[in-house]
Amino acid sequence: MIAPVPQRIAPLSWRKPTLLWTPAALALAIGWPAALFYNDPNPQRLALVAGAAVFALALISLGVSWATGQAPRARRIVVLHVVIAGALIAIAAPFVLIELLALVADYEREGAGESFTFAMSLAMIPLALVIGLPVSLVSGIVFAWVALKRSAIGGSDLLEDRVFRDDVQPFR
């Protein structure tokens, strides 16, 4: 039995010119949920802030993986970073909302903010996840397809590091 010649999967690279494609990808990925609320500016702002927070967290985690030499080799890895960041933001959002509502209620009338409880935040987490996870999935897919492209295997020095070439047996 002849074993196949192993190949390394090249990591994804930023689409060139980066200064054009990355902001365009971010604008599309963060902007499409805000476009759903074209008549109401308040949910638009909320969607833009939540999307910016998700992508800030996702780009930090992607930057750490790139810096440690583990660049993503598939778009699904980038989408996974965005979905995990979206899940974290969706879990944190009810707690932030309840604290902000309590702060505003206390500003309006002293002691009114005590009616907002921790249990209210816990009760809103499933709703935030049901809304936030599909939005972050679609946004991650949009970002990964617009901002990133596959690198050519032969176009880089991936096979020149002698990792696999020394182990390959000639065909018989």
pLDDT tens per residue across span 140-153: 999 999 999 987 66
Q: Is residue 72 part of a domain?
A: yes
pLDDT given for residue 19 in this prediction: 93
- SS3 sequence of 41-81: HHHHHHHHHHHHHHHHHHHHHHHHHHHCCCCCCCHHHHHHH
Q: Is residue 17 part of a domain?
A: yes
Least confident of 10-14, 29-33, 71-75: 10-14
Number of domains in the chain: 1
Q: Which residue range(s) make up the domain with 36?
A: 13-149
CA distance 19 to 42: 30
- For 87-138, how does the pLDDT look when each residue is reduced to its tens digit (9 = 90+)? 999 999 999 999 988 888 888 888 888 888 899 999 999 999 999 999 999 9
* 35 pLDDT more than 90: yes
pLDDT given for residue 157 in this prediction: 47
CA distance 139 to 136: 5
Q: Is residue 2 part of a domain?
A: no
Return mean pLDDT, the chain: 87
Q: Is residue 88 part of a domain?
A: yes
Q: Is residue 28 part of a domain?
A: yes
